[in-house]
Amino acid sequence: MIKGDTVNSSFDDWCQLAKKERRGQTVEASRHETLEGIEIKPLYTEEDVVSDRIKDEMPGMEPFTRGPRATMYTGRPWTIRQYAGFSTAEESNAFYRKALAGGQQGISVAFDLPTHRGYDSDHARVEGDVGKAGVAIDSVEDMKILFDGIPLDKISVSMTMNGAVIPVLASFVVAAEEQGVAPEQLTGTIQNDILKEFMVRNTYVYPPEPSMRIVADIIEFTSQSMPRFNSISISGYHMQEAGASLVQELAYTLADGREYVRAVLARGMDVDAFAGRLSFFFAIGMNIFMEAAKLRAARRLWSEMMEEFKPKNPRSKMLRTHCQTSGVSLQAQDPYNNIVRTAFEALAAVLGGTQSLHTNAFDEAIALPTDFSARIARNTQLILQEETGVTKTVDPLAGSYYVESLTDELVAKAKELIDEIEALGGMTKAVVSGLPKLRIEETAARRQAMIDRGDEVIVGVNKFQPAEREDIDIRRIENEKVREGQIKRIRQVRREREDSTCKAKLKEIEKRAQHGGNLLEAAIEAARARATVGEISLAMENVFGRHTAHTTTLTGVYGAAYQNDKAFSDIQNDIENFAQEFGRRPRMLVAKIGQDGHDRGAKVIATAFADMGFDVDIGPLFQTPVETARAALDNDVHVVGISSQTAAHTTLVPSLIEELKKADAKEILVICGGVIPPQDHDFLAKAGVSAVFGPGTHIPDAASQVLKLIRQQQQSL
């Protein structure tokens, strides 16, 4: 082993050799700083590992840096758990059964947006969203169909559900009972992580304080009645998808976890009674070694953080995690490249020691995955398990100077953010203040500017673009047909149930929401009486209210990356000329229509266009076409920019254009951006959309095109 002066001598010799190989360039020229503020050096040695603790650490032992289990994958590989849900319970059930037969080892359910937001499929606000981005679940009857023929006492089920977590989990418990499976036999995970919804994903229903009560109710009930079931999956995934750096994802996720532990302890529960069933969920992007180090750092940090609560059982300090490959790294351009991206990300998750893994399908930047693309995604994991040798040894990256240094740096930087959250009074108060959300949005804007400038290379997008676009088959959801079927089943459920019993059970939920008592326990009784997801949600909403977020627009973050850039200055000058010609700046309303809460794209566009000189209004989330048209008129905008990620554009955008026509405001242009399949572009153009910008669009180019469209429209008036 190289020690002391020998290290320095060897390093100096290497510098001289590297300088010669680089033909006179200094070694320092190859250093760069990541989005996390971590400097990456061209060479790492023993001197770069701040802590020598790794020499004494072993897998399965505190602080679990090297893995939560002693044998890790040598004893049992990670669980292959593909996240999926398609329109109806029948279609999703067929997919799950086929996937399980093909080697998938657990089910992970994706619900549609109305279900997430606590609305039944017949609600007026969800017309364009039913079945679009997941499976529609309105009652126990839908849940029974979803798991028909799938033995719930043998198959682990993960459900990504937060806002409407009470009625959905209640319906799952009752569906299992009617399959003959008792609650204590159920295995799996409910996400139940509401704090991150207020930061990034926005599929909340109630305000933060009552939402935290719901989290505690679920942990309390499951610890007593569902001991094999994970009561919460504390999620950083959606933070990274919204633009968070890895340090932000790490720090805010663990800070959320600490807040949940405190909320349950406030009920008087013993920490060892529930902490061992907490689980986590992280995104895995393209920075392979940083992502692996992030998972190692997360385990060390969580073990140290849990010391605060003085658990007696070491398992209470053990971080176990599910991972999913990045969705935001997937690109619509040259989409087969996404297969390679997903494989690298899956490898990073495994090298970091994940307990289960979902691999995204290559076409998910365009639409929901097809059976063909989903099979490739699943087989990526099977090949990783069976052919690569990664399951033969535990923590193969241990001792790497680079990875150990990254682990130490991530721990240190995450602690700084965690301490900042503590200074605000904990994560609930921090979320109410809006600070974490603002920090993530700033990082997202900076990263987008790096991509648009070409400082961060994405193959097929801003470098090595293909000469021709390659069309691929996509999955299409017949929204109107799905909604009609769901409404028919809802009516049948309401017709056949004992209505007085159902109303009494819903009243009990309201009573407990007002005066105390476990809400999940009451919701299970209501679900047995065939109360719907929307009715159970509304019973709590009558007491708690429905949360409305305050929407703000950043300025200066995107534009800061373009200082002294001539092309950017040219756009700003063009906008100034427009203002002189027409008496005001071009004005745009950036809007989200429907129940899609993913607002990263909308926020980035708003800040980028504002920095270029547009007057930008950003509308509230979850608007209807009527509400968006009214906002466009009230703000006297030239153009409405619709950000779409869940395919509701085919229904809701034509409705918006019709509303503008009714208001005699045909001069207001409508443009669309986001996850919009090329196959939909002609449809939208015929409906009256002036331009469509897909994923990977160069924002300054888009701004120039929008400005040109507005100028042409104004000149024609």
Q: Which of 364, 283, 356, 471 is nearest to 84 (CA)?
A: 364
User: 375-401 as b/e, with b when 16 or more CB fall inside 10 Å?
Assistant: bbbbebbeebbeeeebbeebbbbbebe
**Cα Rg of the chain, angstroms:** 26
* 190 Cβ contact partners less than 8 Å away, ≥ 6 residues apart: 158, 159, 161, 165, 168, 169, 218, 222, 229, 230, 231, 232, 233
For the question of residue 73 being annotated catalytic, the response is no
Half-sphere exposure of 282 (CA within 13 A, CB side): 35
Q: What residues pair up with 389 in beta bridges, in sequence order?
A: none
Q: In the annotation, is 598 catalytic?
A: yes
237 is catalytic: yes
| Helix locations, 468-599, DSSP H | 479-496, 499-515, 519-528, 533-544, 557-560, 566-582
Whole-number Å distance between alpha carbons of 308 and 533? 38
41 is catalytic: no
* CA dist., res. 315 & res. 311, Å (int): 9
| Catalytic residue list contains 13 | no
Closest CA to 243 of 33, 17, 558: 558
Q: Is 523 exposed, middle or buried (0-12, 13-18, 19+ CB in 10 A)?
A: buried
Which residue among 238, 322, 547, 638 is the active-site one?
A: 238
- Residue 190: its H or E element: strand 188-190
Facing residues of 325 across strands?
284
Phi-psi bin for 638: left (phi > 0), alpha (psi -120 to 50), beta?
alpha
Among 112, 120, 408, 596, the one annotated catalytic: 596
CB atoms within 10 A of CB 289: 18
The catalytic position among 592, 603, 638, 649 is: 592
Q: Are 208 and 428 in contact (CB under 8 A)?
A: yes
User: Of 196, 322, 437, 598, which residue is the catalytic one?
Assistant: 598
Q: How far apart are CA 22 and CA 26, in angstroms?
A: 8
Structure tokens of 145? 């169909």
Which three-class secondary structure string do you get for 130-158? CCCCCECCCCHHHHHHHCCCCCCCCCCEE
83, 206, 558, 562: the active-site residue: 83
Q: Burial code of 149-172, b = ≥16 C-beta within 10 A, e = fewer?
A: eeebeebbbbbbbbbbbbbbbbbb
Handedness of CA 367, 368, 370, 375 (dihedral sign): positive
Catalytic site residues? Answer: 83, 237-238, 592, 596, 598
